[in-house]
Structure 1
């Protein structure tokens, strides 16, 4: 394409507003009293020819001569740079096409550098074509830049062709192509080139070692690292040893990691922050947290990445207290946490359902002014949703400028598990209207919402839409949800049909969902079938035995209950004890069934005795249906009334001022009697009581639960 005089004038004139150039726009000499720096305009002012010479339509030769005279080599290069800075690579290349001299190495280098920076492959190829057509012979430096562009843009075939055509190559040429192959996973070709290299430097070794690590070949990476050590020709640098440490961490080989640590000390690299970070990461992933902490503590210049990595290692190892304490130390250090730090701490709060600490982190984030577009905002929504505080979760969600799918899904799942299924389904409808595509986790929340609301037909429509409308594959979680949905409604035939036609083998969650439905509806035959399948999958899980025993107990088949107890004894299956806990003034109080170990145990039992009388006056009748002992009703009632969650609630009421909300957590599902009793307690004590059991949240207030007894 030829650049017309009018196009050239427009192109160069567009540079004038922000720069000292005003190419050919006016030929007016400056006043003598107005000295100004040397510029392209100054060159223009010194010309004696009339403007019409440039604007002749057919004066191609005159135009090129004029451009060449006006745009000296330095100024021409400067014009190219300005266009590149304005991200106008195409215009810069068109300008180069009309430079009558051969393109210089400096101008070509400038253009190629901007092409590399912007990953502009097509524009880079045009520069390469211009070089070849102009008979300009590029040196190794320019050829390496073109090679680098091809490799970084993934055009490996062009890169290999250029590499073969290069009359002269240096180590940079070899390293660039090796790195290009290694980066995209063509590791065997990279190794072949590496072996053919006339002379290797530390960049060559690092490219290969890091390539093996990146593509999950840690043993090959360490073998190559060993060969490098044995060669004695190359001194390790921080990048090579960091890659080797990553390989040792990937293999979880503490022995090899310590060996590399020795090389680091002998090589004098033990003062580098990058190396120390890799060392700490290696020790942490190899399960040696004490040594990881020692490396962290002895690092002189700790940045936020080092702090975040060490905090995450504690959380990953289940050492929550140490992780939270280190986060507190980070805040005191004066180093500003980043979004990764906040997200990691908030996820730890989520897993521990420590909403109080999560609120403190939230407050610090607001004071610090964190970016609402970052994924730390999604972590906040997730934390509040998992802790059952849906009001705050929704406020944070509404505050986010552009909520991502994680935020939407967290909120949908949160409402589904908090007794607000219709709100969850409304949100799902809003999600679809935004154009964001739901994933399989989103549909787990949607199906759970339908299950807890008893919306069987609507839930089935959502289930079939997963594949038919949204093009997603069914997961085991989807099947478990729809089987739970049908079983709760007593539609066992449809549930069995889905199990029979599944593309996958039923897992423990599907059979457990079916067994749970059988318990509700007293389906003895199907309950036995589901339980036997669970005994094979997880023979040591007591929940299956207990649920089946509940089904038999409800039917009055005490001989069958005794058989199950005997089976548990023979297999040494121990029922997991029910445990509830409540947080009070940053201290966790734990209760077991019939527990009398708490310092205020007498007050707790006295309170329960008093409120029991009031409850019965209000119409409470203990539900002894699921007590797995063939004993008298009075003894059954006594056993029920000292369940762990009732003890925790009683302590919460006597230990807090009137009207204070109570939140209790339990490791097992809440039983029917406790659910009924807590409704009465909430009304008599005038408290809002939240119970988070192993499956969901229950919100009791004024004598009713938000789940409306469908759970």
Structure 2
């Protein structure tokens, strides 16, 4: 009786231990009394506390100190191995256990999942069922989080129903909702949600996030309203999901309301919410508000910095994005793969030999060189800059070549006139790569256009839907029409135009007016010019072509009317320009421009150069004045 009271007293004391020092003090006292080795219950209590408060060494010593180990002792030991990342040791312990309970199996499944080895976790689950061990609710919640297909998830769902695991458990219900939403089966997630006897915030959040992710933004907002009416308090994750839904459909009024609620609820300092708010305002064409939020929260976190940088790049403010990146490095914000991918996508706008090389060096230094997203961005950057050797080296080294990287290479070759290389790469993609998408086929058709391979381009266009499973878009129709017009096959081009989803888009109108000019039927020219005026009201091309067409035919009143229309609409002729990057800055020089950055120094230097050229006898003053 006295012995059991001592055990109970010690167990009560251990319940109040909050530091490793107090645990060691009590443990030392028990060792003196020779109780820790002989009493398995107390030994397991100390083992559990050491695993949570102490070091690995402390835990191993406590484990060795237990003379009569039971399944609970081995489960704790296996959990410690997993917590410290030694999954092989955990598996060895698991295989050597003479007795296993459901906790043992759950621990091993969780261990593989935490290490990112979902297939092994599912293998242990299958073995568990083969041994006749009945899975618990926790088992199903772990396994559902690592299924790779919805069909497999449905099989596990059916197995749960057969074994009598219903929706009384919030954990199981939430796992099913999360699994179905993750794979885009939002209707199934709703059915589970409705059948659940009890729901919590996680249930609502999973449902709202799933609706937002898979294009049911209106439904996400409605569920958010119902959640509040049902007296569930939204948390930071709820607000961020609804903000994302508003940004996807560019619903600024609702987004502003949700943002106001986040401020009222004190969520603005949460990086998830502030990032979602920055993205929402940016996608709703209010970049100034995005910048204001970023400056107001003043949180130098990778998520927030990534949001503002991507927003700035989206609005062609690449220089500002680079400046934010430089400031984030000074504040010790570690760049993520998303950061580097975003910056690489705009590095070609500056001096690629400097900015691009520096970013590439940072990619290697941070260990993102073999990340599929970053590698694809590097390929795209070098392709856009014309550095095909560098792009090809990175492309060949990529272990996982997704369709984005293939497209970057194909388009890079295409835009730089390397038609043959582009088509060879397309053939290689068909043999070894993923299925081509609409961007791939557009790039190949553009290559055929540049190489004057009309028959090949037309063949790919005709086989798009039947052979490659890609429905032609307006861009594909435009490309093939351009190809036909440039090849002089106007009748074939007109036949294709009649099949286009959007007949006579802006680019086609510009092309027809540019090629046919003032020649041909005046009625056709007027029709195309009027269509282009509707599509691109500020374009000067239709007015110029129409004015010249009237002028050739001597219709001076019509010429005057066209010029008056241009004046009334404040439309002027497009001025050509060139640009150059200097010290990470972009300087644009327009045609016939006298006023620009550093004009005095430029013209002074130009004058000195001309003086030196004249003195050397390369050019005379008369020749100079005549040019």
Q: TM-score range by the shorter chain?
A: 0.5 to 0.7
Q: Which residue of 2 aligns with 1:143?
A: 137
Separation in 2, partners of 1:616, 1:492: 49
Answering whether residue 175 of structure 2 is matched by residue 176 of structure 1, we say: yes
Q: How does 1:406-445 map to 2 (within 5 A)?
A: 406-429=404-427, 431-432=429-430, 434-435=432-433, 437-445=435-443
Whether 1:106 aligns to 2:103 is yes
1:293 and 1:329 mapped to 2: Cα distance? 15
Q: How big is each residue's C-alpha offset from its partner over 1:202-256, in whole Å with a ceiling of 9 and x where there is no partner?
A: 3333333333433444454445445555555x55544334334434544433432
> Which of 543, 546, 554 is the equivalent residue of 2:544?
546
In structure 1, distance between residues paired with 2:533 and 2:165 = 65
Q: Tell me: CA distance 1:236–1:437, structure 2 relative to 1, closer, same or farther (3 Å).
A: closer
Residue 327 of structure 1 and its aligned partner are, at CA, apart by 1.4
* Mapped partners of 2:234, 2:493: distance in 1: 62
1:342 is matched with which residue: 315, 340, 343?
Answer: 340
2:106–2:138 contact (8 Å) kept in structure 1: no
Cα displacement (A) at 1:364: 4.2
Q: How many residues align?
A: 522
In the alignment, the residues of structure 2 paired with residue 472 and residue 167 of structure 1 have an alpha-carbon distance, to the nearest angstrom, of 42
Q: Is the 8 A contact 2:356 2:381 kept in 1?
A: yes
Flag the structure with larger Rg: 1
Which residue of structure 2 lines up, in the alignment, with residue 324 of structure 1?
A: 322
Asked if the contact 1:296–1:306 (Cα under 8 Å) also holds between the matched residues in 2, the reply is yes
1-structure distance, mates of 2:573, 2:498: 32
SS of residue matched to 2:484? helix
Go from structure 1 to structure 2 and tell me whether the alpha carbon gap of 1:114 and 1:225 turns closer, same or farther (over 3 Å shift).
same
Aligned equivalent of 2:579: 582
RMSD: 4.9
Task: Provide the residue aligned with 2:520 in structure 1.
Answer: 524
Tell me which moved more, 73-82 or 452-461. Answer: 73-82
> What secondary structure does 2:579 align onto?
strand
Instruction: Give TM-score scaled by structure 1 length.
Output: 0.60
Which residue does the alignment assign to 1:309? Answer: 307
- Does residue 395 (structure 1) correspond to residue 390 (structure 2)? The answer is yes
Provide closer, same or farther for how the CA distance between residues 166 and 473 of structure 1 changes in structure 2, counting only shifts above 3 A: closer
SS of the residue corresponding to residue 524 of structure 1 reads coil
String of CA shifts for 1:502-533, please: whole Å, max 9, x gaps. 676343333433444434xx8523x8626623
Contact 1:273 1:302 in 2 (8 A): no
Q: Which runs of 5+ in 2 are unaligned?
A: 1-68, 621-625
| Residues 423-470 of structure 1 deviation map (CA, whole Å, 9 limit, x = unaligned) | 544554555565454433334333333433444445444544545654
Q: Structure 2 CA distance, aligned partners of 1:299 and 1:442? A: 41
Change (3 A) 1:562 1:404: farther
Against the structure 1 CA distance between its residues 218 and 566, is the aligned structure 2 distance closer, same or farther, given a 3 Å change threshold?
Answer: same
Report the CA distance between 1:480 and its aligned residue: 2.3
SS at match of 2:488: coil
Q: Indicate how the Cα distance of structure 1 residues 223 and 491 shifts in structure 2: closer, same or farther if over 3 A, else same.
A: closer
Rounded to whole Å, the distance in 2 between the matches of 1:188 and 1:469 is: 32
* In 2, Cα distance between equivalents of 1:459 and 1:212: 40
Distance 1:516 1:468, change over 3 A: farther
CA distance in 2, matches of 1:419, 1:275: 45
Distance 2:246 2:392 in 1: 41
8 Å contact from structure 2 (residues 212, 241) kept in 1: yes
- Where do 1:277-296 residues align within 5 Å? 277-285=275-283, 289=287, 292-293=290-291, 295-296=293-294
Contact 1:191 1:208 in 2 (8 A): yes
Distance 1:549 1:355, change over 3 A: farther
Distance 1:310 1:595 in 2: 34
CA distance in 2, matches of 1:229, 1:468: 49
Residue 445 of structure 2: which of 419, 444, 447 is its match? 447
Cα distance in 2 between the residues matched to 1:517 and 1:468: 33
2:359 maps to which residue? Answer: 361
CA contact under 8 A between 2:278 and 2:294: conserved in structure 1? yes
Report deviation, 1:371: 1.0
* Unaligned stretches of 5+ residues in structure 1: 1-70, 618-637, 642-711
CA distance in 2, matches of 1:473, 1:356: 40
Contact 1:466/1:474 (8 A) holds in 2:
yes
Contact 1:245-1:260 at 8 Å conserved across structures? no
Select the structure that is richer in helix: 2
Whether the 8 Å contact between 2:243 and 2:259 is mirrored in structure 1 is no
User: CA separation in 1, counterparts of 2:158 and 2:388?
Assistant: 54
Q: Which moved more, 1:423-432 or 1:601-610?
A: 601-610
- Which structure 2 residues correspond to residues 157-306 of structure 1 after superposition, within 5 A? 158-159=156-157, 162=160, 165-166=164-165, 169-187=168-186, 190-191=189-190, 194=193, 197-229=196-228, 236-250=234-248, 251-252=251-252, 253-265=254-266, 272-285=270-283, 289=287, 292-293=290-291, 295-297=293-295, 302-306=300-304
